[in-house]
């Protein structure tokens, strides 16, 4: 066996694996196609590039499953969550980051670690003898995806999308207001763009008739619900957007003293607030159509865009029966998969799978058995989800539904969530001294 671990892919999961091992003295060869090549959605040469939202979702440890997952990862020693905490931008209860600083932080750590050798090269085959981690994400190159399909028997996919990013100076402040949901107007981290019924109806009508970019194999039923394009949502009912990304609940317009009929939220991309992400507005419209349709929103009538929304094909492994709970390939235990390619969905979940892989690769190198964090932790429940037989297997976010039920029924939702958190963190803390 070689004296290094081979990690293929420098996204969130691959970076997590490389840094965890390197900090513990393990030599790593990190392969990535960048900067020699780029996927359709990658633009930066740096590692851990965020291609969709800049939000890592809720930071509420005791009230949200993804917030709990982040705290579990902090305790285990996650480089990704540490970098996110260092590069955070105001986003209410969410952990959002300056995506450029976040990637730069991870890239600097990787390039300055003497135990990591970075190799810009496309990998098209899988070494099944030596320890290899496949963390190429949902944008795996066609040649490697074909090889994975040969080994695993299939390589399903779904379509994912990213939202546009707006130049902050081009937002019409007369037709918008600053407030978090249920917050005091003038105070908060979100710019809100209200619409009345006539404006909303006009927006939906134009959205439904707008021209989309053509995508090979694209079908509406292959779109992941968590990143559904706004035009697909609008096609499911006139009010779908009003109960989704344009929900006005808790957003009091200071001009009227009431909640608007519909409302678009803009979230800061950086602390300076000179660029904003349109929350939940993933889209596959042609760029010219995005600018035209979004200009119907009064606050965005003269908006300029740093980046338009795009859609891309996400590849993943149908993991049950293929991957074990430590994310190793059944029948080839030296091969591990990590990240969204395993069937976990989301930035944090992808990094969490990488952290689980890193912990278990390190233990293997020390001659120790794999660790299972168990279904009472979110990180352990995700590992269990991807490795448990499921005829209707679909990519999965962190959620309370995958956790081991409470030992006794707790009717109050807040109390039940707090119990889940306390139980989980107590388990993780028992591992902490051994894993750090």
The residues, any chain, with a CB within 8 Å of residue 126's CB and separated by 6 or more, are 132, 134, 144, 147, 148, 151, 335
Nearest to 124 by CA among 263, 275, 8: 8
> Do 148 and 249 fall into the same domain?
no
User: Among 33-42, 48-57, 376-385, whose mean pLDDT is lowest?
Assistant: 33-42
Contact 147, 125 (CB under 8 A): yes
pLDDT reading at 269 higher than 80: yes
Query: Starting at the edge strand that comes first in sequence, how are the strands of the sheet with 305-307 ordered?
Result: 177-178, 190-195, 262-268, 275-278, 165-167, 305-307
For the domain that residue 363 is a member of, what is the CATH number?
Answer: 3.50.50.60
Residues 231 and 369 in one domain: no
Shared domain check, 295 and 323: no
The Cα 385–Cα 393 span in angstroms is: 9
Q: For the chain, what percentages of helix, strand and coil (3-state, to nearest 5) are there?
A: 35, 20, 45
End residue of a domain, out of 282, 313, 344: 313
pLDDT tens for residues 274-311? 889 999 998 989 999 999 999 999 999 999 998 888 77
The residue-averaged pLDDT of 363-378 equals 93
Mean pLDDT of 214-221: 53
Range name among 7-11, 18-22, 51-55, 199-203 with the lowest pLDDT average:
51-55
Q: Identify the residue with better confidence: 133 or 401.
A: 133
Predicted local distance difference test score (pLDDT) of residue 223: 53
Give the pairing type, strands 157-161 and 132-134.
unpaired
Residues 281 and 327 in one domain: no
Residue 275 · residue 157 · CB < 8 Å: no
Q: For residue 222, what pLDDT is reported?
A: 53
325 and 306, same structural domain?
no
Cα(422)–Cα(292) distance, integer angstroms: 49
More confident residue, 95 or 1: 95
- Mean confidence (pLDDT) of the chain: 90
CB 189 within 8 A of CB 259: no
Q: Which two tokens mark 339?
A: 């990240």
Exposure string for 163-191, b = 16+ CB within 10 A, e = fewer: bbbbebeebeeeebbbbbbebebeebbbb
Same-domain check for residues 78 and 132: yes
Domain boundary among 262, 295, 313: 313
- Looking at residue 42, its pLDDT comes to 59
- The pLDDT, as a whole number, for residue 157 is 63
- 113 and 74, same domain (yes or no): yes
**pTM: predicted TM-score of the whole model, two decimal places:** 0.76
100 near 51, Cβ under 8 Å? no
pLDDT at 1: 64
Of the listed ranges 199-203, 238-242, 428-432, the one predicted with least confidence? 428-432
> What tokens appear for 358 in the block?
């890193």
Which residue range(s) make up the domain with 240? 165-313
Does 132 lie in the same domain as 195?
no
Name the pLDDT band for 221 (thresholds 50, 70, 90): very low
- The CATH number covering residue 257 comes to 2.40.30
Please give the pLDDT value at position 158.
Answer: 65
Q: 409 φ, ψ to 5°?
A: -65, 130
DSSP-assigned states of every residue in 68-117: HHHHHHHHHT-HHHHHHHHTEE--TTEEEE-HHHHHHHHHHHHHT-TTEE
CA–chain centroid gap for 44, Å, is: 17
Residues 132-171: tens digit of each pLDDT = 999 998 778 889 988 988 888 866 666 667 789 899 989 9
Last residue of a domain, one of 266, 284, 313: 313
| Together in a domain, 390 and 426 | yes
Same domain, 334 and 419: yes
Q: To 10 degrees, what angle do helices 65-76 and 413-435 make?
A: 20
The reported pLDDT for the residue numbered 11 is 95
Residue 216, pLDDT > 60, answer no
pLDDT at 189 over 70: yes
**Statement to judge: residues 29 and 109 lie in one domain:** yes
Q: Tokens 């803390």 map to which residue?
A: 429
Residue 267 has pLDDT above 80, yes or no: yes
Please report the pLDDT score of residue 219 as a whole number: 45
How are beta strands 5-8 and 132-134 bridged, if at all?
parallel
- The Cα 24–Cα 44 span in angstroms is 28
Query: Is residue 160 within a helix (H) or strand (E), and if so which, with residue range?
Result: strand 157-161
Q: How many domains does the chain have?
A: 2
pLDDT value at residue 218: 44
How much is the pLDDT for 435?
62
Statement to judge: residues 267 and 394 lie in one domain = no
Per-residue pLDDT, averaged over 101-117, amounts to: 98
């Amino acid at each position: 066996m070689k004296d290094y671990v081979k990690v293929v892919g420098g996204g969130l999961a691959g970076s997590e694996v490389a840094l965890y091992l390197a900090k513990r003295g393990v030599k790593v060869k990190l392969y990535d196609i960048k900067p020699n090549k780029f996927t359709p959605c990658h633009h930066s040469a740096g590692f851990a590039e965020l291609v969709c939202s800049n939000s890592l979702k809720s930071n509420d440890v005791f009230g949200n499953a993804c917030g709990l997952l982040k705290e579990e990862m902090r305790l285990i020693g996650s480089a990704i969550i540490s970098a996110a905490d260092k590069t955070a931008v105001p986003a209410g209860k969410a952990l959002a980051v300056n995506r450029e600083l976040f990637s730069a932080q991870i890239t600097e750590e990787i390039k300055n670690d003497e135990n990591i050798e970075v190799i810009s090269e496309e990998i098209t085959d899988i070494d099944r003898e030596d320890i290899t981690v496949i963390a190429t994400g949902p944008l795996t190159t066609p040649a490697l995806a074909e090889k994975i399909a040969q080994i695993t028997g299939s390589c399903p996919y779904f379509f994912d999308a990213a939202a546009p990013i707006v130049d902050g100076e081009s937002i019409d402040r007369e037709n918008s207001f600053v407030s978090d949901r249920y917050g005091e107007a003038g105070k908060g981290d979100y710019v809100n763009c209200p619409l009345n019924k006539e404006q909303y109806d006009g927006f939906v009508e134009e959205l439904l008739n707008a021209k989309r970019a053509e995508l090979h194999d694209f079908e509406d039923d292959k779109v992941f619900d968590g990143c559904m394009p706004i035009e697909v949502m609008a096609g499911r009912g006139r009010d779908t957007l009003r109960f989704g990304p344009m929900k006005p609940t808790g957003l009091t317009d200071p001009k009227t003293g009431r909640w608007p009929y519909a409302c678009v939220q803009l979230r800061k991309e950086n602390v300076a607030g000179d660029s904003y992400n349109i929350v939940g507005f993933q889209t596959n419209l042609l760029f010219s159509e995005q600018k035209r349709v979004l200009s119907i929103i009064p606050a965005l009538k003269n908006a300029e865009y740093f980046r338009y929304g795009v859609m891309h094909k996400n590849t993943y492994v149908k993991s049950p029966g293929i991957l074990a709970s430590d994310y190793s390939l059944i029948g080839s235990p030296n091969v591990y998969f990590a990240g969204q390619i395993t069937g976990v969905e989301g930035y944090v979940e992808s990094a969490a799978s990488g952290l689980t892989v890193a912990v278990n690769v390190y233990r293997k190198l020390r001659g120790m058995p794999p660790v299972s964090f168990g279904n009472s932790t979110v990180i352990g429940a995700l590992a269990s989800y991807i490795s448990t037989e499921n005829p209707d297997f679909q990519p999965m976010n962190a959620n309370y539904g995958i956790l081991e039920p409470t030992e006794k029924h707790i009717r109050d939702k807040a109390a039940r969530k707090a119990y889940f958190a306390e139980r989980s963190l107590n388990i993780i803390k028992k591992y902490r001294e051994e894993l750090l």
